[in-house]
Amino acid sequence: MARYLGPKVKLSRRVGVPISDTPKHTAKRQLTPPGMHGYRGKRLREYGIRLNEKQKLRYHYNVLEKQFRRYVKEATRLKGNTGEVLLQLLERRLDNVVRRAGFTRTIWASRQMVTHGHVLLNGRKTDRPSCAIKTGDVITLRSRIHSLARDNMESMAGHIVPGWIEANPAELTIKILTIPTTDEIPFDVNTNLIVEFYR
């Protein structure tokens, strides 16, 4: 499967926003455009603006283009605002839930934790990061990864767990309370432009 294995900060610089909450991405100097002197080039046209907005969301959730197209197709099929449904589908990915709970620092670390089989969904081993969680699901970690998860939580002391997740730091478990709303998603993106990009 094709994956991006290059420097992650370059992605933040390319789209102009931090795609991860780590200091490496949020540092002001890192948000200059790519290149030695931050060459800005020409002003973006309408297509470029929509493309940039789509790439922001793709990089934030670490999703490939083919997968992202499937999410957009599914969001248009389901009832409700397509942009909001798209955000909910992406937010409910298993690797993202592990990140939101604060057990890992980045989406790439949580993806690795899931694919290596350290995450149990309702007591069963689940090694698919794209697995969609539902209300009432309980996520636990295998005992051999507990020390790493606790170290991550200590290094992210100010991390705020969203209201749709109930995280238990003592037992390292996550319970899904509800489906997330767009207000509870801590990433600012214009979903209307993304939907327009695929029309």
132-177 tens-digit pLDDT: 999 999 999 999 999 999 998 888 877 888 889 998 888 899 999 9
**Mean per-residue pLDDT of the chain:** 87
- Spatial distance between the Cα atoms of 172 and 150, rounded to a whole number of angstroms: 8
Average pLDDT over residues 70-77: 94
- Is residue 1 situated within a structural domain? no
Q: Please choose, from the candidates 63, 86, 90, the residue with its C-alpha nearest in 3D space to the C-alpha of residue 2.
A: 63
- Spatial distance between the Cα atoms of 53 and 193, rounded to a whole number of angstroms: 7
- Spatial distance between the Cα atoms of 153 and 102, rounded to a whole number of angstroms: 6
Q: Which residues form the domain of 133?
A: 93-178
pLDDT above 90: residue 3: no
What does each C-alpha distance from 73 to 50, 60, 192 come to in angstroms? 17, 19, 14
CATH number of residue 62's parent domain:
1.10.1050.10
- Spatial distance between the Cα atoms of 14 and 35, rounded to a whole number of angstroms: 10
Strands (E), the chain: 119-121, 124-125, 138-141, 165-168, 173-176
- Is residue 169 situated within a structural domain? yes
For 159, the 3-state DSSP assignment is coil
- Is residue 130 situated within a structural domain? yes
- Is residue 2 situated within a structural domain? no
- Is residue 183 situated within a structural domain? no
pLDDT above 80: residue 33: no
pLDDT above 70: residue 94: yes
- Is residue 172 situated within a structural domain? yes
φ/ψ of 54, rounded to 5, equals: -65, -40
Is the separation of the CB atoms in 19 and 56 below 8 Å? yes
φ/ψ of 123, rounded to 5, equals: 85, -5
The pTM score is: 0.88
Residues 51-71 have pLDDT tens digits of 999 999 999 999 999 999 999
Please tell me whether residues 83 and 100 are part of one structural domain.
Answer: no
What does each C-alpha distance from 125 to 8, 114, 142, 155, 180 come to in angstroms? 28, 9, 9, 27, 24
Average pLDDT over residues 181-190: 85
Instruction: Quote the number of domains for the chain.
Output: 2
Q: Please choose, from the candidates 128, 129, 117, 15, the residue with its C-alpha nearest in 3D space to the C-alpha of residue 62.
A: 129
